[in-house]
Structure 1
Amino acid sequence: MAESGEELAEAQREHWERTYGARPGMYGERPSEPAVRAAAVFRAAGAREVLELGAGHGRDALYFARAGFDVLAADFSPAGLEQLRRGAAAQGVGGRITTAVHDVREPLPLADASVDGVFAHMLLCMALSTPEIHGLVGEVRRVLRPGGAFVYTVRHTGDAHYRAGTSRGDGIWEHGGFAVHFFPRALVDALAEGWTLREVHPFEEGELPRRLWRVTQTAPG
């Protein structure tokens, strides 16, 4: 029997929880390059409050806090967020970070127009269906203040792992236990409808290397 979307989502949640438990701080302490770029975008826009989706163990959330932003870090892994909280306490930025265990398939637990910027590094290209991705971006637009920036990264169909491993349908391929939704450019453009699309920047990350786009778009002002 084919695996349903809910079954795949739960399997991925369990996989990430085990991974964070077995490999604490697996991505290291240095912020990702997209987070550094996003901080510059947020700072230029005068942002103060930033939401990070898929924060994991917190290397980027901690960087945002050290840079002076108030951060809400959301992830569906309690193990990852516990590591983030310990890191925040150790770095003296615990007062700037709030964590929330949250599955992005559900509405964001925030009021309308309540944050200045949103960041998501490879969260949108996890095991999310195309309708779920559209729903999430709609939620991001809801919680962003007018003119707020959304900076996200996704692996795309030029990546070496595209069509490798097991197909889960809808552009999702599972390889090494991790399911990835590989983005065609048309999906990026569709997600920018009703926004101002500022940049689609190609870059590479990791040893494979992974091939990604860094997308910056702003909500109507």
Structure 2
Amino acid sequence: MADEQELAEIQRRHWQDTYSAHPGMYGEEPSAPAVYAAGVFRTVGAHDVLELGAGHGRDALSFAREGYTVQATDFSPTGLEQLRVAAEAQGVAGQISTAAHDVRDPLPLPDASVDAVFAHMLLCMALSTEEIHAAVGEIRRVLRPGGVLVYTVRHTGDAHYGAGTPHGDDIFEHGGFAVHFFDRALVDALADGWTLNQVHAFEEGDLPRRLWRVTQTLPR
């Protein structure tokens, strides 16, 4: 069983290799959670969106096409380079900035500097519960009062939960990808001090993966 630092580095290399071998691996169409999030962000009057774990950018590009200014982060420089190339091709490069960033580290943004944050399956990567809480604390710091966070995570009802290679703390590895499966108690704990607007169960991809889409808002 790898320790946290070793597992993080293994996962970083695995994602780099995956994006290199399969450019644009998730396609060009935005994910269903991103389509939902764009509508939520519009309803609250958001302009600036931070996407954590943007990968090669299908969702960041969609937000930009919807008129949002997007800051996209990922710990894979390969994925972000694919995003930048696509942004140029789609004519939205002026609306998107990118930064290589590990969600375990503090966000390179000022306090109260963005209107909305989106993270599709980022918080359920190979992160400890402590690291997940720290990441949501950083999201809270950079959001403006009334700002919205929409995130998705695989949960303990997923078929892969409890199977594969265990790494402790509800983290299990399948096919080289390590996932932290969320229980409802963790979702509720991460919403402490927020308004928890919705926890929506849905399925995606093969198996299928079972996820929650969580929407929570900072008080004004």
- Residue 207 of structure 1 deviates from its aligned partner by 1.8
Partner of 1:125: 124
1:67 is matched with which residue? 66
Aligned equivalent of 1:181: 180
Instruction: Identify the residue that residue 201 of structure 2 maps to in structure 1.
Output: 202
What is the percentage of aligned positions where both structures have the same residue?
Answer: 75
Distance 2:219 2:168 in 1: 33
User: How far did 1:83 drift?
Assistant: 0.2
How much has 1:163 moved relative to structure 2?
1.1
TM-score normalised by structure 1 residue count: 0.99
Q: Please report how far the alpha carbon of residue 217 of structure 1 lies from its aligned counterpart in structure 2 after TM superposition.
A: 0.1
CA drift at 1:3? 1.3
Tell me the amino acid that sits aligned with residue 136 of structure 2.
V
Distance 1:164 1:25 in 2: 28
Q: Secondary structure at the match of 1:61?
A: helix
1:144 aligns with 2:138: no
Deviations 1:38-84 (A, max 9, x none): 00010001000000000000000000000000000000000000000
The CA deviation at 1:20 is 0.1
Q: Take 1:220 and 1:171, find their aligned partners in 2: how far apart are those partners?
A: 30
| Mapping for residues 51-90 of structure 1, pairs under 5 Å | 51-90=50-89
4+ long deviations beyond 3 Å: none
CA distance in 2, matches of 1:33, 1:71: 18
Tell me the distance in 2 between the aligned counterparts of 1:13 and 1:185: 27
Deviation at 1:220, TM superposition (A): 1.4
TM-score (ref. length: structure 2): 0.99
One-letter amino acid of the counterpart of residue 76, structure 2: S
Q: Deviations over 1:178-219 (max 9, x none)?
A: 000000000000000000000000000002110000000001
Q: Which residue of 1 aligns with 2:169?
A: 170
* SS at 1:27 equivalent: coil
* Contiguous gaps of at least 5 residues in structure 2: none
Q: Distance in 1 between matches of 2:29 and 2:158?
A: 24
Spell out, residue by residue over 1:113-151, the C-alpha distance to the aligned partner (whole angstroms, 9 max, x if none). 000000000000000000000000000000000000000
Q: Distance in 2 between matches of 1:207 and 1:54?
A: 20
CA distance in structure 1 between the aligned counterparts of 2:104 and 2:190, rounded to whole angstroms: 16
Letter of the 1:85 counterpart: R
1:16 alignment partner in structure 2: 15
How far apart, in 1, do the equivalents of 2:72 and 2:110 lie? 16
Q: CA deviation at 1:106?
A: 0.4
- Equivalent position of 1:112 in the other structure: 111
Cα distance in 1 for residues equivalent to 2:63 and 2:4? 33
Q: Report the Cα distance in structure 2 between the residues aligned to 1:121 and 1:196, rounded to whole angstroms.
A: 20
